[in-house]
Amino acid sequence: MKLQLNGAPLHSDATTLAALLEAEGFGGAKVATAVNGSFVPATLRATHPLNSGDSIEVLAPMQGG
């Protein structure tokens, strides 16, 4: 299916957010995620379905002052 990951077009067979994160190398990373602008907590990623056309944002925490 066609998705957007952090603004870049992507074709993926992943059906859940967790599967997409694993496939794209974010599997064990501490990240924040949003699908179509809505925050998805880590506890719901395994059951959060993806649909063609979805826009996914993956953000890593930043340190600094």
Indicate whether this model's pTM tops 0.85.
yes
Q: Delineate the domains of the chain, giving CATH numbers in brackets.
A: 2-59 (3.10.20.30)
CA–CA distances in Å: residue 51 to residues 1, 12, 30, 62, 63: 7, 10, 24, 29, 33
Per-residue pLDDT of the chain (65 residues; tens, 9 = 90+): 999 999 999 999 999 999 999 999 998 889 999 999 999 999 999 999 999 999 999 998 876 66
